[in-house]
Amino acid sequence: MAHKGATQQQNSGRRRGEAATGPSRPRAQPILTTGIERALWIAITLSAATALTQLYIHAQLAATRGAYTSFCHVNSTVDCDAVLMSSYGTLFGLPVAGWALLSYVTLAFLLYRRGKAVGPARSQASLLLLGLALWNASFSLYMAGLATLAIGALCLLCAVTYVLVAVTAILAWRLAQVDVGASGQSVLTSQRALMAAAVIAVGVAAIAAVQFSSRPVSGATLTAADVQARDPQFYEWYNKLPVTKDLPAEMHSKGPADAPLTIVEFSDFECPACAMAFRDLHDFVRQHPELVRLVFHHFPLDSECNPNVPKRMHRSACQAAIASECAARAGKFWEYHDLLFGGQNRLDRDDLIAQAVGLGIPQDAFVECLDDPAARSRVLADTGAGSKLGVKSTPTLVINGRVVEGALERTRYEYIIALERRS
């Protein structure tokens, strides 16, 4: 009895919560037990979903050589497609969105491990989580600068990513404060701050060096000798093309009249190859606004308004061309032109009217113009001029008087600038 009493007295002296078999071990806090953790899981999940969407768009654009148009292509300024397909949209052969997705998976893993860990292990996981979140925020800031200054377009999906990444970094900071502060330490020691800043600076600088070293060549800096060395076959072919002076009057043009390079385009709004050429030419003109003049002429492959075509190959091309002339009456030709090439699946009459109204064109005047024979006559005038030049397919380009059937590879437009600047 005495032994039993001693045992009871000993057990009664233990701290509350200790088992009879010995001192209790700290229990890992379950995942999603705090508001910060829940918010982090939500932010990481949304970031991953945004990255997957960007990867899907990138894959579609690559598969169609730019003919695909995403919901995020709003106009020439707000254009996710242009940003994702730019030379800065890929890093080491993988889309930047793919690298982003990998970082979000790593963040999720670190957050999960932190929830399972205790003591110093939890603090370590929180610091790693914070470090990666800060890297993502810094890299996003760098990419935002590229989109604004180098690409000249706003990507809405990217903007969503930037916000989510910033939120993730703030939440990771607060979580690290809780975990590291529990041990009486400070999150931002001078050693950690210097190390993080150095790693981020070196990392961003290395990526910038890779991206800028692999960016496309620029005709503004190349010489004719450079072109001959890089692509001797193209150099010889281009210089042997005959030059014609018999060009139709310009009705729709942009760029300086004295530009060293004038590209006259005969195109069809329903033609997939023309949509690919549009993207390259749009990017080309945007990068060289002082060096390139672009002139547009209609050549719809639709016998309804092109007597040079034996049948109606593109049944919406004629009405789309007429609609663009109606937009021109309102001073909105190029804006409407970009919309049509950006949405070739929206060329029926109702869609054409809706897009015009979206540009601020009065609906009644636009509808009246669609049925105006004068608008159709403008299209017929272009098709006649194209036929006189020998245009048979779209796109056909007349580059400083040289007739080129079909679009060129993007780099070769740069070569042409170098060749034409010499004269």
Q: Which domains does the chain have, with CATH numbers?
A: 35-213 (1.20.1440.130), 224-421 (3.40.30.10)
Q: What is the predicted pLDDT for the residue at 102? A: 97
Burial of 196 (0-12, 13-18, 19+ CB in 10 A): middle
Low-confidence ranges of the chain (pLDDT < 50): 1-33
User: Phi-psi region for residue 184, left (φ > 0), alpha (ψ -120 to 50) or beta?
Assistant: left
Q: Indicate yes or no: pTM above 0.85.
A: no
Rounded to an integer, what distance in angstroms lies between the CA atom of residue 198 and that of residue 250? 56
Taking residue 236's Cβ as centre, other Cβ atoms within 10 Å add up to 10
Q: What is the predicted pLDDT for the residue at 214? A: 58
Burial of 217 (0-12, 13-18, 19+ CB in 10 A): middle
Check: CB of residue 205 under 8 Å from CB of residue 404: no
Check: CB of residue 112 under 8 Å from CB of residue 31: yes
Q: What is the predicted pLDDT for the residue at 28? A: 43
Name the nearest CA neighbour of 81 among 67, 102, 99, 98: 67
Q: What is the predicted pLDDT for the residue at 215? A: 59
Q: What is the predicted pLDDT for the residue at 422? A: 67
Q: What is the predicted pLDDT for the residue at 9? A: 40
Q: What is the predicted pLDDT for the residue at 224? A: 87
Rounded to an integer, what distance in angstroms lies between the CA atom of residue 73 and that of residue 50? 15
Which amino acid is residue 168, in one-letter code?
A: T
Taking residue 70's Cβ as centre, other Cβ atoms within 10 Å add up to 19
Q: What is the predicted pLDDT for the residue at 5? A: 45
Omega prior to 395 cis, within 30 of 0: yes
